[in-house]
């Protein structure tokens, strides 16, 4: 994604270095869990060293911008990525997806039962890490987890939303809830609660842009580069599929999604600007948010 992002080389290297650091810390942390079941540990590690770690990178940059200590910023970023990894394992089970991040899905390689337990363990272990940051942060992430589960259930009950409003309702629960949690948690740890509402809205609209971008990538992306089969999510709450059902032609649907991505990027930037952050990190965050607009082109 970053190869075509337009980021300057220094920033690109910095962001890639953060991603590598998070990858190494995630793998090290999971290897350190005292499990007697080798199969369970292998299942937890299966996808851990792969991916873009964008949620963790956003969390880290925002946290550093607020002045958090490096270890606290890393812990919050790791927890965010572990929550996401757990949701991917469970999503792949629900979607019967055979591949993820260029590998067989966890349930394909290790079996349904082990995959379910691995996803549960990752959530529990993430909470264990968050305990180092205080009970308020655990509560924030737990509430996000409740919303995520609710959104998943709504999608299962109504696999084909018929309007953009229904789509936003579902992804607000499934995707934006975690983005809200990671920014609100950073604000909480930094003792900057005056920015709590702005952090919520930053996460909400950035989550919208992120999911719209993912949905479009599912239609126009290269499966080899995405690490999963294209079109797996077409029958779920995928915005392109919804627009096609609404009568858009494919070209117009793609154009509309790009417009929606742009709109949500601009709103998220508006709320980012309202939060007092270190100038360097705020600039990094703005450039990273704009990357979402071009990741599908």
Query: For residue 82, which of 94, 72, 74 has the smallest C-alpha distance?
Result: 74
pLDDT at 221: 63
2 falls within a domain: no
pLDDT at 297: 39
State yes or no: pLDDT of 6 exceeds 70: no
pLDDT at 156: 86
Give the Cα separation of 225 and 217 in Å (integer): 10
CA angle, 58 as apex, 57 and 60 as ends, to 5°?
65
Give the Cα separation of 168 and 41 in Å (integer): 36
266 falls within a domain: yes
Q: Which two tokens stand for residue 272?
A: 């980012």
DSSP-assigned beta bridge partners for residue 103: 100
Q: 157 vs 126, which has greater pLDDT?
A: 126
Give the Cα separation of 59 and 41 in Å (integer): 26
Enumerate residues 6+ apart whose C-beta is below 8 A from 50. 23, 101, 102, 103, 227
Contact criterion met (CB below 8 Å) for 84 and 50:
no
1 falls within a domain: no
Q: How many CA atoms lie within 13 A of 141 on its CB side?
A: 26
The mean per-residue pLDDT over the stretch 3-25 comes to 86
Provide the domain count of the chain: 1
Q: Look at 2-6, 23-27, 28-32, 63-67 and tell me which has the smallest mean pLDDT.
A: 2-6
pTM (predicted TM-score): 0.91
Q: What is the pLDDT of residues 71-100, one digit of tens each?
A: 999 999 999 999 999 999 999 999 999 999
Q: Look at 20-34, 56-70, 216-230 and tell me which has the smallest mean pLDDT.
A: 216-230
Contact criterion met (CB below 8 Å) for 45 and 120:
no
User: What is the domain extent for residue 36?
Assistant: 7-290
296 falls within a domain: no
> What Rg do the C-alpha atoms of the chain give, in angstroms?
18
Q: What is the pLDDT of residues 136-164, one digit of tens each?
A: 999 999 999 999 999 999 888 866 678 89
State yes or no: pLDDT of 296 exceeds 50: no
297 falls within a domain: no
Confidence of residue 2 (pLDDT cuts 50, 70, 90): low
Q: Which two tokens stand for residue 245?
A: 């059902």
Q: Domain containing 273 — which CATH number?
A: 1.10.600.10
295 falls within a domain: no
pLDDT at 8: 83
Give the Cα separation of 124 and 130 in Å (integer): 10
């Amino acid at each position: 994604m970053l190869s075509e992002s337009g980021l300057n080389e220094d920033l690109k290297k910095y962001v890639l270095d953060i991603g590598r650091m998070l990858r190494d810390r995630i793998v090290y942390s999971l290897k350190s869990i005292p499990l007697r079941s080798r199969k369970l540990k292998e299942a937890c590690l299966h996808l851990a060293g792969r991916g873009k770690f964008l949620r963790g990178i956003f969390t880290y940059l925002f946290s550093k911008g607020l002045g958090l200590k490096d270890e606290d910023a890393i812990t919050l970023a790791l927890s965010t990525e572990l929550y996401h990894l757990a949701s991917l394992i469970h999503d792949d089970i629900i979607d019967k997806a055979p591949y993820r991040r260029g590998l067989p899905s966890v349930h394909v390689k290790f079996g349904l039962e082990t995959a379910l337990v691995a996803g549960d363990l990752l959530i529990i272990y993430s909470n264990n890490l968050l305990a180092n940051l205080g009970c308020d942060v655990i509560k924030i992430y737990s509430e996000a987890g409740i919303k995520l589960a609710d959104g998943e259930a709504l999608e299962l009950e109504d696999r084909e939303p018929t309007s953009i409003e229904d789509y936003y309702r579902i992804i607000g629960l499934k995707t934006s809830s975690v983005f809200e949690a990671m920014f609100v948690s950073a604000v909480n740890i930094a003792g900057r609660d005056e920015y709590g509402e702005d952090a919520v809205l930053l996460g909400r609209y950035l989550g919208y842009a992120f999911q719209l971008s993912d949905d479009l990538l599912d239609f126009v992306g290269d499966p080899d580069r995405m690490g999963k089969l294209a079109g797996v999510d077409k029958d779920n709450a995928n915005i392109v599929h919804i627009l096609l059902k609404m009568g858009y032609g494919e070209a117009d649907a793609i154009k509309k999604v790009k417009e929606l991505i742009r709109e949500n990027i601009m709103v998220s930037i508006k709320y980012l600007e309202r939060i007092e952050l270190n100038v360097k990190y705020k600039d990094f965050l703005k450039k990273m948010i704009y990357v979402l607009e071009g990741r599908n082109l």
